[in-house]
Amino acid sequence: MNWETVIGLEVHVQLLTATKMFCGCSSRFGDPPNTNVCPVCLGLPGALPVPNEQAVRLAVRAAFALGCTVHPRSIFARKNYFYPDLPKGYQISQFEEPVATGGALEFVSVERGPVTMRIKRLHLEEDAGKSFHDRVPGMTAVDFNRSGVPLIEIVSEPDLRSPAEARAYLTTLKQVLKYVEVSDCNMEEGSLRVDANLSIRPAGSSELRTRTEVKNMNSFSGVEHALTAERERQIAATERGFGVVQATMLFDAASGEVRPMRSKEEAQDYRYFPEPDLPPLVLTEKWLAAEREALPELPAAKRERFAKTFQISAEATAVVTATASVATFFEAFATLPHGLSGRDSWNWVANDLLSLSIDGETVPLTPDRAAQVVKLVQSGQLSRQAARRVLAEMVNAPENTALAVAQRLGLVQVSDNSAIEVWVRETLETHPGEVARYKAGEAKLMGFLVGQVMKRSKGKADPKAVNASLAAALAR
Amino acid sequence: MTDFLRAAGEAAERIAACEAKGTRAFLAWSEAALVEQAERLANAGASGPLAGEVVAVKDVIAESQFPTTCGSKILEGWRSPFEATAVRRLREAGAIVAGKTNCDEFAMGSSTEWSAYGPSRNPVDPTRVPGGSSGGSAAAVAAGAVTMALGSETGGSVRQPAAFCGIVGIKPTYGRVSRYGLVAFGSSLDQIGTFGKDVTSAARLLGVISGRDDRDATSLDRIPLGLPAPAPANLKGTVIGVPREYFPEGLHAGIKAASDRALARLKDLGAEVRDVSLPHTKYAVPTYYIVAPAEASSNLARYDGVRYGPRADGGLADVRAVYRATRGHGFGPEVRRRILLGTYVLSAGYYDAYYRKAQHVREAIRADFARVFAQGVHALFTPTTPTPAFKFGENTADPLAMYLSDVFVCTANLAWVPALSLPIGRDQGLPIGGQLIGAMEGEATIIRIAQALERAVDATAEVR
């Protein structure tokens, strides 16, 4: 039987706020355990939550970026469960009336081309603390620095049809959320976390069969591997006639396998109810309009505009819009008065400049400084080849001009005709035999002669000028 | 000797005398702490509306000199690293904290009999309960140990003990006083209230602790209440509504007689007394006993022995065993009953039938009050309690009988409106309380009426 996979994702994203969701503690990652804590995020008796406006702003910005309807009135709710790293015994979240619903995100599927992933809802909540089961033998250690860090949860509809699509959607989602500076989406540091729901059905069917939840995936490739393993497990179980039982599966990255969570750990009744410590979250028309207005250009819009403005292909725009910073660089660089075509600008950025970046997220030079190098190449003072070395060196020498760096590296070309003519004359005098053979028709000797002139110039001559000068001298 | 030190010394003598009679109004107090605060205030040259006043604080309110146990074993010895906004405002006003007063565990109860540290006694009749849950604060004021005290209400826990002990208790509008530092029971109902030997002292204390607090998102964005004006000479132009649902057939004869006399005095003062109806009153107790336990079941989840408070390890089989053992040992029977009740009404499959429905009924109760106050009524007059103070053990075996002692008071908590109780007479020596309920943010109005009524009735006289 041919099976189709149906996947929906729940993505938790930590918001880039300086402080926590309901108190003034720092939300910084990596500080010594239990140093960013207070009565509120420790859930001490009598402490009360007060919402962080910046967290609300970032959630709303994410919602707009994902095309959601943002609700002017939403309700915080308590999600009740016991766990040592959950200090109040409940998590403040949103349930029946989330801040946003009904969005969409388009991404490119390897199998199906452009796919629209429908976003069911986006809501605000606070993070729990972190339990460490391996630090103290026989004990669990708890760090509450993360307790109360603001999160959004983005719940999608089951619109994905393969593990590869899950990965592609996540990559696109991460790009959008980073573009609008809502989150750094770092899976290793836990600022983006993914839970998946997966079921299978006969290809061509539209039913939704029993699904399982897959957790504990720590990277995008982990998501793809885990979902592949779960899909195979479900297909095998179904084909052997066992069927799929609703369960929560944990991915083990080391073995690449999924195993069911112990039943004790699931089947929770969270007893959601409206959080009585917080009034409804009311967003005024004016505030929402200002946030909508302030939304930066999104990657898809940017790609379309770049393709049109700079006459480059869709694939090509993707390279220079990978991050907001790269896109900003590209646009500034391409519109400088250097006379390069859009395609040539793209070549410089994609081939010469992006390779200087360690993380691929920013170009470590300003567009102006990069353009200085372009000018040197255009004037013949620098070879296209040597330009790359100059650019690399400029990253470490922010005070120096491109010319100064090129001079220090001895890469400035001589295109001054009088000097080149001297080297040409000397070369022709030293190689009368080759000159004669060239004149007798051995055209390929031109290359040899150019090489000899370059050698005599110690590589500093502009090869274009040498070619022209040699051709003129040989024609005489 | 400064005025502060004299006040502290005198308070120590009065508290010691109160406790020597077996009142057990206080869970923690000390002469040394009184003197230390007095010295600090004297050195700082403190002045303020409560300079040198000694105020007792209910043990569900966070305060740092003494433990904050909430009358529970599960917080035995817990010292809060921060103080409630209300306590901070007391101190800023120059007041001295007398100590922490006894209460039913986590404020769940109507007699202090559910305190894990033993009940307080009613200073008027030590064979009877002082009421609850803020019974220790009420007893401390009634015994003359202090002239004012902080209590807290979720469903009448200030007004009911005020009535039982023959003093004044005010429950302000929800949001009038910051809940920051008030250990939560039913968050949508909880409100710190004040006790005084008379209306003016309870109102003065309320004026000091009221006002917007950025640490409480439900705090009202209003300036603090002013100090009470002098009692008005008459109540001409004031309309008092008498909701018939609060005067049922078979109402206790002493309560009925006291209420009738108080209403006669209100008329004598020139007030217009008008019959009104609050038709959803009969649903108040059941609604309250869904909403309050539901919120309590969540609010009390944090007491798990992981971060603070005594931990019972339960053999350390797993973390669940620790929870079970800690909570099983730490919580008393009434708290356990309400956690179970609250967990039940929030559970999948029951939420709509109980919690959601209760929210709708609560809206209807609120609308009842809004409608009456929109018809020109300035305040409602009702009895505070259905009976005078009962004897120890009279209601502990029957939770429902205990719950029904809140029948006239829990409506104001559900509707968020302010209400107060003042003594209006005695029946067989036992104090009777009369209740004035105001419109939202109508504290000043009910305080003014109470001041006038207080002067017009002899609260120590037998009513029949």
A85 and A172 assigned to the same domain: yes
A283 and A306 assigned to the same domain: no
A272 and A135 assigned to the same domain: yes
Exposed / middle / buried, residue B460 (Cβ in 10 Å: 0-12, 13-18, 19+): exposed
Cβ atoms B96, B375 nearer than 8 A: no
How many contacts, defined by CB atoms under 8 Å, are there between A and B?
Answer: 100
Q: What is the pLDDT of residues A254-274, one digit of tens each?
A: 999 999 987 655 568 999 999
Name, in order, each residue with C-beta under 8 angstroms of A349's C-beta and a sequence gap of 6 or more: A319, A320, A326, A329, A330, A333, A334, A363
Write out chain A residues lying below 8 Å of B215, CB-based: 48, 50
Could you tell me if residue B286 is inside a domain?
Answer: no
Could you tell me if residue B254 is inside a domain?
Answer: no
Residue A466 domain boundaries: 417-475
Residue of A42, A82, A269 with shortest CB distance to B301? A82
Count how many domains chain B has: 1
DSSP letter assigned to residue A178: H
A30 and A115 assigned to the same domain: yes
3-state helix, strand, coil in chain B (%, to 5): 40, 15, 45
Q: The domain that contains B130 carries what CATH number? A: 3.90.1300.10
Q: Tens of pLDDT along chain B (464 residues)? A: 579 999 999 999 999 999 999 999 999 999 999 999 999 999 999 899 999 999 999 999 999 999 999 999 999 999 999 999 999 999 999 999 999 999 999 999 999 999 999 999 999 999 999 999 999 999 999 999 999 999 999 999 999 999 999 999 999 999 999 999 999 999 999 999 999 999 999 999 999 999 999 999 999 999 899 888 999 999 999 999 999 999 999 899 999 999 999 999 999 999 999 999 999 999 999 999 999 999 999 999 999 999 999 988 766 678 888 999 999 999 999 999 999 999 999 999 999 999 999 999 999 999 999 999 999 999 999 999 999 999 999 988 888 878 888 899 999 999 999 999 999 999 999 999 999 999 999 999 999 999 999 999 999 999 99
Count how many domains chain A has: 3
Could you tell me if residue B170 is inside a domain?
Answer: yes
DSSP lists the bridge partners of residue A77 as A93, A274
Rounded to the nearest 5°, which phi and psi values hold at B287?
-65, -45
CA nearest to B185, candidates B281, B73, B299: B299
Choosing from A357, A388, A408, the residue where a domain stops is: A408
Choosing from A287, A310, A338, the residue where a domain stops is: A287
- CA dist A144 and A19 (Å) reads 14
CA nearest to A351, candidates A324, A378, A373: A373
A374 and A422 assigned to the same domain: no
- CA dist B242 and B264 (Å) reads 12
Active site residue B201: no
**Spacing of C-alpha B371 from chain mean position:** 26
Could you tell me if residue B311 is inside a domain?
Answer: no
Q: What is the pLDDT of residues A159-209, one digit of tens each?
A: 999 999 999 999 999 999 999 999 999 998 999 999 999 999 999 999 999
- CA dist A250 and A252 (Å) reads 6
Active site residue B58: yes
A34, A40, A41, A44: which to substitute to probe chain B, counting the most B Cβ within 10 Å? A44
A219 and A76 assigned to the same domain: yes
Name, in order, each residue with C-beta under 8 angstroms of A263's C-beta and a sequence gap of 6 or more: none
A219 and A151 assigned to the same domain: yes
Query: Chain B residues within 8 A (CB-CB) of chain A?
Result: 61-62, 68, 70, 75, 78, 80-82, 84, 179-184, 186-188, 214-218, 294-295, 297-298, 300-302, 304, 306-308, 319-320, 323, 343, 346-348, 351, 355
Interchain proximity B302–A273, CB inside 8 Å: no
Residue B61 domain boundaries: 3-209
Choosing from A383, A408, A433, the residue where a domain stops is: A408
Rounded to the nearest 5°, which phi and psi values hold at A131?
-95, 140
Q: The domain that contains A461 carries what CATH number? A: 1.10.10.410
Cβ atoms A148, A127 nearer than 8 A: yes
Could you tell me if residue B335 is inside a domain?
Answer: no
Residue for token pair 């009336």:
A97
Active site residue B157: yes
A282 and A308 assigned to the same domain: no
A87 and A24 assigned to the same domain: yes
A196 and A338 assigned to the same domain: no
A101 and A227 assigned to the same domain: yes
A115 and A248 assigned to the same domain: yes
Residue of chain A whose Cα is closest to the Cα of B61: A46
Could you tell me if residue B141 is inside a domain?
Answer: yes
DSSP lists the bridge partners of residue A391 as none
- CA dist B373 and B55 (Å) reads 34
Cβ atoms A276, B295 nearer than 8 A: yes
